[in-house]
Structures are given as structure tokens and as C-alpha cells.
Amino acid sequence: EPEVTQTPSHQVTQMGQEVILRCVPISNHLYFYWYRQILGQKVEFLVSFYNNEISEKSEIFDDQFSVERPDGSNFTLKIRSTKLEDSAMYFCASRRDSLRQPQHFGDGTRLSIL
């Protein structure tokens, strides 16, 4: 069964550095998402992406965050200048279309900011 893949599985970065998290959504999916989960807490929506543009974003997704689909297969999340509180699991998800289709999640990238 096709799945969402995320790389790397664990990223350790110094505070203030830029980090790029990568995702390969399921190939025929059209909607893409990034979520964050701080250790022991619930999954929080960051951003949704459709037709090469952001369709919705949460208040967490400030100017330090950006998303891109550079080549038609990868979907990336960039954090420009990381802060300690950015440490979390970051999950990518994709969905086939808007008609009664659920999201499928990757296994996440654990981001640790030192």
C-alpha cells in the first residue's frame, strides 16, 4: 500500500539554524499537510497546501515557516531560524481529493533544537 514517507527521521539542529523537513506524499494525492506534535501533546495543524499554494494555516505557522513543493513529488517544510520551542515531531500528511477522503500520515521527523 502506498505511504507517505518523511526524511530524516530525526534532525538535531542548533538554535537559530535553518532546517528543512522533507516529505514525499502518496503519488496521486492532491492535498498536503504539515502537523506538529510536541512531546506528550496532541497533534496540531500547521498548514495545508493545494494547487501549489497554501490553502490554510494556523497561528503557529508564522513567518519563520514556509512550505514548498519544488519538484512535483517532494513537499518540504522550512523553519528559517529555529527556536528551542520548535522541538517536536513534525508529521506530513496527504489526501487524495476533497471528496470524503481521509488524510494519511507519514511516520514523522523528530526535530530536536539544541
Partner 1 sequence: GQQLNQSPQSMFIQEGEDVSMNCTSSSIFNTWLWYKQDPGEGPVLLIALYKAGELTSNGRLTAQFGITRKDSFLNISASIPSDVGIYFCAGQLTGNQFYFGTGTSLTVIP
- Least gap, CB of 21 to partner 1 (angstroms): 13
* Cα–Cα distance for residue pair 80/49, rounded to 1 Å: 19
- Least gap, CB of 67 to partner 1 (angstroms): 13
Residues that bind partner 1 (CB under 8 A): 4, 31, 33, 35, 42-45, 48, 50, 55-56, 58-59, 91, 93, 98, 100, 102-108, 110
- For 55: left if phi > 0, alpha if psi spans -120 to 50, otherwise beta; the answer is alpha
- Least gap, CB of 16 to partner 1 (angstroms): 27
* Cα–Cα distance for residue pair 73/24, rounded to 1 Å: 6
